[in-house]
Chains A and B, each alone.
Chain A
């Protein structure tokens, strides 16, 4: 299974943009890039996913490098509610919906 590397923690101020990096140098052509986040005392929740092109939804944007060896989750204006652990996950499309979580990035947001 392909691996991802994320910083252990990051900090941001409220209402500022946040760029959460993820390295996945061993990504294969059948791997999708997924982001989930886990708020304190809750189960993880889906944020966004993509294959090659950048993706936008109401929660965030996903920027994927041209060689697909890295990606960045962008929160355009951080709020206190965005404080969570963010997981970058590679999902092999041949392996249905199986997700393999790493340790993620803990994002702190300050007022």
Chain B
């Protein structure tokens, strides 16, 4: 069964350093999402891509976070510089994308747990 791949699974960094997370969605999925999940809370959407275009980044802290999906397949989320409050699980999800109003469920990867010291 196809899965969303993420790497690394765990990342420990010091504040002010740069970190990057990678996501490979399920083949053929046009929509890709990055979420942040703080311990004890539900996932919060950071950015949504449709193919290579950003369709929603309203919750992305753009002063330090950036995301790209250059060829419309895999994606990278970067934080520079990392702050203590960025410690969280970063989840990637993908879906087929909008198609005639039918709902396409989101498939989530295992996440990257970031610890900022």
Contact = CB atoms under 8 A, between A and B. Distances in A.
A binds B: yes
Interface of A: 32, 36, 41-46, 49, 85, 87, 91, 93, 96-104
A98 to B, nearest CB: 7
A43 B101 CA distance: 25
A99 B107 CA distance: 12
A43 B91 contact: yes
Given A49-B103, A87-B42, A96 B98 contact: yes
Contacts of A49: 103
Given A96-B98, A98-B56, A103-B42, A46 B93 contact: no
How many chain B residues sit at the interface, stated as a range, is 20 to 34
Interface of B: 4, 31, 40-45, 48, 55-56, 91, 93, 95, 97-98, 101, 103-111
Contacts of A93: 101
Contacts of A91: 103
Given A49-B103, A97-B103, A98-B48, A44 B108 contact: yes
Given A43-B108, A96-B55, A97-B98, 10 more contacts: A32-B103, A42-B111, A43-B109, A43-B111, A87-B42, A97-B103, A98-B45, A98-B48, A98-B56, A103-B42
* Chain B contact surface mostly: loop
A93 B98 CA distance: 11
A87 B40 CA distance: 13
A98 B91 CA distance: 15
Contacts of B103: 32, 49, 91, 97
Given A102-B42, A103-B42, A104-B42, A43 B105 contact: no
B106 A99 contact: yes
A85 B101 CA distance: 28
